[in-house]
Amino acid sequence: MSYKVYLDPGHGGIDPGAEGCGKKESACALAVARKVMALLPGRYFEARMSRNSQNIPDNNHPNSDLNRRAREANNWGATIFVSIHLNAGGGTGAETYCAVCGGQSRVLARDIQSQVQAATGIKAHGDPVKTDNIRGAAGDYLCVIRETAMPAVLHECCFIDSAADMARFNPDRWALGIANGICKYFGVPLLSSRGASATYPEKICDTTKDMDMSRLSVYQVRTFHGAQLSSGNSQIALVIPRTSDLWFVVAVGNSGQSAGIYTTLPGKKAVKTFTVKIK
Ligand SMILES: [Zn+2]
């Protein structure tokens, strides 16, 4: 069984969200969500997005689309709901909203917030984890937290109107932090203890050819179903499971270092399959 993660890049349609530093919140949030989607290990997670373009089902009514997102996650039976936004209004840092009642929503918010801070180096904006019940609502003000039937959070990556925050803003890093927060919440191994840049795979390689890799580049490797891919030295090349037969190899060592990558078939000894050399 896999956990169902509903990713919700905020805004869309005629609603760009906040704007600042020449960027639109709706586009930045989508960039992060797409990368989270690509990073979540497929052997543990199934992920869906509330939108995968700037369009929403009814572009002219972004407000009623919030209920559509919550309903969709409820009908799908999502295990968790993660909304991704950028803040505005004169501040700096990241923050994560959880449900007023706390519970698992608070645990998830804490895990995402702490992993984002670790992956990006950004500071928290005031209290790292907050609730929003102040704008005249009895319970949760945020629709996607109030109307969802599973632990839900809303992460504000940073302030789009802060030049300092936007100089730091990098969708790869935020995606790594959010994906790791989700992994941590479910007790799934984190994607990289060294905070490697979560770039999309550049190439799909075959599994027998030695590879010269730039530091922090990522290759996607396909193995036989049921085979385990492992690294002889995870300080140099990190192997991350994606699905039962797909793996990411991330070059995390320094120039000139090399590490063997091994394949293990069930009941067999590990066999060295290829060598990764850091360029
Ligand atoms: Zn927003």
Domain count, the chain: 2
pLDDT value for 222: 73
CA 149-152-158 angle, to 5 degrees, is 160
Q: Which residues are tagged catalytic?
A: 156
236-262 confidence digits (pLDDT tens): 999 988 776 678 888 989 999 999 998
Joined tokens for residue 269? 């000894």
In the block, which residue shows the tokens 């799909």? Answer: 204
| More confident of the two residues 178 and 203 | 178
Centre of ligand 1 from the C-alpha of residue 24, in Å: 10
Same domain, 122 and 53: yes
- Whole-angstrom distance, CA of residue 196 vs CA of residue 264: 25
Neighbours of 10 (CB within 10 A): 26
Distance, CA of 134 to CA of 130 (rounded, Å): 11
Note the pLDDT of residue 193. Answer: 42
196 in any annotated domain: no
If you measure from the C-alpha of residue 83 to the centroid of ligand 1, how many angstroms do you get, rounded to a whole number? 9
Domain identity same for 207 and 181: no
pLDDT for 88: 96
Q: If you measure from the C-alpha of residue 157 to the centroid of ligand 1, how many angstroms do you get, rounded to a whole number?
A: 10
Beta-bridge partners for 46? 4
Minimum mean pLDDT range among 55-69, 163-177, 194-208, 222-236: 194-208
> What's the confidence (pLDDT) of residue 196?
42
- Residue that terminates a domain, selected from 131, 160, 186: 186
Query: How many Cβ atoms sit within 10 Å of the Cβ of residue 188?
Result: 18
- Between the CA of 76 and the centroid of ligand 1 the distance, in Å, is 23
> Where do the H-state alpha helices sit in 121-170?
143-146, 163-168
Verify that 112 and 176 share a domain, yes or no.
yes
The verdict on 88 and 145 lying in the same domain is yes
Domain span at 212: 203-278
223 in the same domain as 182: no
197 part of a folded domain: no
Q: Which residues contact 130 (CB under 8 A, 6 or more apart)?
A: 95, 96, 97, 98
Q: How far is the CA of 154 from the centre of ligand 1 (A)?
A: 9
pLDDT value at 195 more than 60: no
**What CATH number is given to the structural domain containing 208?**
2.60.40.1080
The environment of the single-atom ion ligand 1, i.e. residues with CB closer than 5 A, is 10, 17, 85
Position 135 scores a pLDDT of: 63
| Helix extents (H) in 126-269 | 143-146, 163-168, 171-186
Is 267 part of any domain? yes
The amino acid that residue 172 corresponds to is: D
Domain co-membership, 41 together with 173: yes
* Max CA distance (Å), the chain: 63
Q: CATH number, domain at 143?
A: 3.40.630.40
Q: Indicate if 32 and 130 belong to the same structural domain.
A: yes
Could you tell me how many residues make up the chain?
279
| Residues 122 and 250 occupy one common structural domain | no
In a domain, 270, yes or no: yes
The number of angstroms, rounded, from the C-alpha of 85 to the middle of its chain's C-alpha atoms is 13
Q: Is residue 150 part of a domain?
A: yes
Q: Is the same domain home to 137 and 265?
A: no
* For range 134-160, the mean pLDDT: 87
Side chain identity at residue 260, one-letter code = G
Q: Which of 39-53, 62-76, 114-128 has the lowest mean pLDDT?
A: 39-53
Residue 252 near residue 235, CB atoms below 8 Å: yes
Residue 11 lies in a domain: yes
Which carries the bigger pLDDT value, residue 140 or residue 174? 174
Task: Out of 186, 215, 232, pick the residue that ends a domain.
Answer: 186
Residue type, 175: A
Check residue 15 and report its DSSP letter: B
Q: Which of 88, 20, 17, 13 is nearest to 50 (CA)?
A: 13
Q: For residues 58 and 65, is the Cβ–Cβ distance under 8 A?
A: yes
Is pTM, for the whole model, over 0.75? no
How many Å lie between the centroid of ligand 1 and the Cα of residue 183?
Answer: 24
Centre of ligand 1 to C-alpha 140, Å, is: 16
Question: Is residue 268, in this structure, part of any structural domain at all?
Answer: yes
Domain boundary among 158, 186, 214: 186
- Domain co-membership, 44 together with 166: yes
pLDDT of residue 205: 44
Q: Give me the pLDDT at residue 136, please.
A: 58
Mean pLDDT for the stretch of residues 77-100 = 96
Can you tell me the mean pLDDT for 109-134? 93
Residues 176 and 230 placed together within one structural domain of the fold: no
C-alpha span between 90 and 236 (Å, rounded): 41
Cα–Cα distance for residue pair 206/211, rounded to 1 Å: 10
| Structure-derived torsion over alpha carbons of residues 233, 239, 240, 246, reported in degrees to the nearest 10 | -160
Give the span between the Cα atoms of 159 and 91, in whole angstroms. 6
Whether 142 has a pLDDT exceeding 80, the answer reads yes
Q: Do 87 and 171 belong to one domain?
A: yes
- Mean local confidence (pLDDT), 26-32: 97
**Is residue 80 in some structural domain?**
yes
